[in-house]
Chain A
Amino acid sequence: MQVKKKAASAVPIRARKGAIHRFFVYFARHPLLYLMLIPGLFFLCVYKFWPLYGIQMAFRKYSLFAGNNPMDSIAKSQWVGWKNFNKLFNSSQFSLVVSNTLIINGMKILFLFPLPIICAILLNEIRRATVRKTLQTAIYVPYFFSWVMIFGIFYSLLGSYGPLNSAIVALGGERVRFFTDTKWFRWLLVFSEGWREIGYNTVIYMAAIAGVDQVLYEAAKVDGAGKWKQIWHVTLPGILPTIVLMLILKVGYILDTGFEQVLIFYNPTVYSVGDIIQTYVYRLGMGKMDYSQSTALGLFNSVVAFVLIVGANTVSRKTLHRSIW
């Protein structure tokens, strides 16, 4: 017993020493590999980790000129504890932007999530490869466009004097102001998001369908299954892991998506339905120069988003044995 215990305690120490030794041996043999890491780590430290240090602005009354430079000013600003957060949580804007974020992104998941799955299944039914490729190429053209370009296109189509409104008027209706009407604005976001993303997501599901074992289809055919039964019993179960993974990702990133789209599409008349957490963070910080409040809201968003994403990844790893990273 005692011998065993001794051995057990001795091994880790020797192993640790061995590991450090082995590291230096390896380092001496492959110094260039470590040299290669430097550019990436440099950018990582400066642009990803240094801003993390700036998070303490959320607990301070930040004053831009307290130090020698903006980052130096952070440590020299007055510490106020949770004051910024109290002010934030008590403001009516806070609950508004949180609920807008959840409603808009929830609508997007609810209405847009199933569409690319259906498209991919249908696309897979087209036997002529050239037609299939052409259609696939056409439906994800919009994914290459920036949100500003999409805004321009939609503004042209749905603007007060665009073809859609002309058609509405011709049919005896009244002009709809899609960009300034609070009733329509969220739908505009959902629709334009769908226009941009459906083709892209279809390609993802197409790849998943291509991975389904062809033998299963043969077997189903032998058993007398028609096309619909094959889709229901072979294709769908085959791509279910991808579907679940995509859904988990969408829910995990529910607080982090749609920022640039909303920033470009919205205007003060639709703040009540379109203002989301990140656009508010932006206006607080860059517009009102209330840096500390903005950082506090950003931190709140990051913490909740972090919990959601790690939670989503845990679910994905447990159920599908797949990790996001």
Chain B
Amino acid sequence: MKAKTLSPEKDKKNINHIPMDASEKVAEIIAYVVLVLLALMAILPCLHVISKGISNGTAVAAGSVIFWPVGFQVEAINYVFTRTAFFTSLKNTLIITVVGTAIAMFTTVTTAYPLSRSDFKGRRFVTLLYVISMVFFGGIVPAYMVVKTIGILDTYWACILPFAIVQFNMFIVKNYFEGLPTEVEESASIDGANDIRTLWSIILPMSVPVLATVALLYAINYWNNYFHVMMYTSSASMKTLQLYLYDIINNSAAITESLYSTSFEGTNYAQNITTEGLNAAAVSMSLVPIIAAYPFVQRYMISGITVGSVKG
């Protein structure tokens, strides 16, 4: 470390007509190398599955597909779309995500606003309740028994309501509200606006970035939820994208085996659909919605990460 830190300084003394420090250049080169490698590591695996999903069956079976398609076919994707429960599970996931995020945002905002007001009486007590619920956890079985008792097992509600308020997200919104200037609120109350009006027409318009961020956090939570959906639902028609995908990955060998023995509607699926190719097609079709949404939402994600970690 020391030897490394000394030599660039010597360089600097020798060639001090160069405005940029040599050590800065070295640091930047190392930064480029390491980070480009990391970025490739993040992206190439995605490219790999997508390529595999559309590559020629023989190439897939031979293991020659790496990061670029070899040959081309859409039979595997076609099979995923038409012969598996892809769209049913996508529909379930969409319903749970949209309805869940809407309910969660409503609950989060209505809870965060009173708790963010410094004059609110009972604020400490209610905040304490939320903190307690963050550190004490009843456990998997008691949570299951509650859902079973309420009678919402195997419905969309079981995948939505237990997560309708995430304490951490509520605290992010509360912290943001606390940072807003109070004068606006005071002038609104002088003007005779009630608390709901104040929240709706003054606080919320000022909080669009944090609301977008938290909505995104909720949406990702609902979209990616695997475990709870698996536990709280049982019928095939309730499967979400994550459950569907898990099933495909674990059963693709059996599926392709049955394909080899039968052919549908005169088409020889078996020629181009391999176990690996079918997996890859299903995985890449689940990647597509996320990659499509990514450019639009990633800005909010960054602020979500930093808000959550810095203010906690």
Contact = CB atoms under 8 A, between A and B. Distances in A.
A57 B144 CA distance: 13
B137 A302 contact: yes
Contacts of B141: 54, 57, 281, 285-286, 291, 294-295, 298
Nearest to B39: A138
A155 B279 contact: yes
A129 to B, nearest CB: 13
Interface string B276-287: 100110110011
Given A163-B63, A286-B231, A325-B134, A41 B196 contact: no
A152 interface: yes
Contact of B139 (A36, A55, A137, A207): A55
A7 interface: no
Secondary structure at the A interface, as helix, strand, loop or mixed, is helix
B29 to A, nearest CB: 9
A146 B223 contact: yes
Nearest to B29: A125
Contact of B63 (A69, A161, A200, A263): A161
B139 A23 contact: no
A138 B43 contact: yes
A36 B114 contact: yes
Contact of B302 (A146, A151, A203): A203
Instruction: Assign chain B's interface to a size class.
Output: 35 or more
Interface of A: 22-23, 26-27, 30, 32-34, 36-37, 39-41, 43-44, 46-55, 57, 69-72, 74, 118-119, 122-123, 125-127, 135-149, 151-157, 159, 161-163, 165-166, 195, 198-200, 203-204, 207-208, 221, 224, 226-229, 231-232, 242, 246, 259-260, 263-264, 278, 281-282, 285-286, 291, 294-295, 298-299, 302, 305-306, 309-310, 322-325
28 contacts: A32-B194, A36-B111, A44-B165, A54-B143, A119-B35, A126-B28, A126-B31, A135-B38, A138-B42, A143-B301, A144-B294, A146-B225, A148-B243, A152-B245, A156-B280, A163-B66, A203-B302, A207-B306, A226-B21, A227-B8, A228-B4, A228-B23, A232-B1, A260-B227, A281-B139, A306-B135, A325-B134, A325-B312
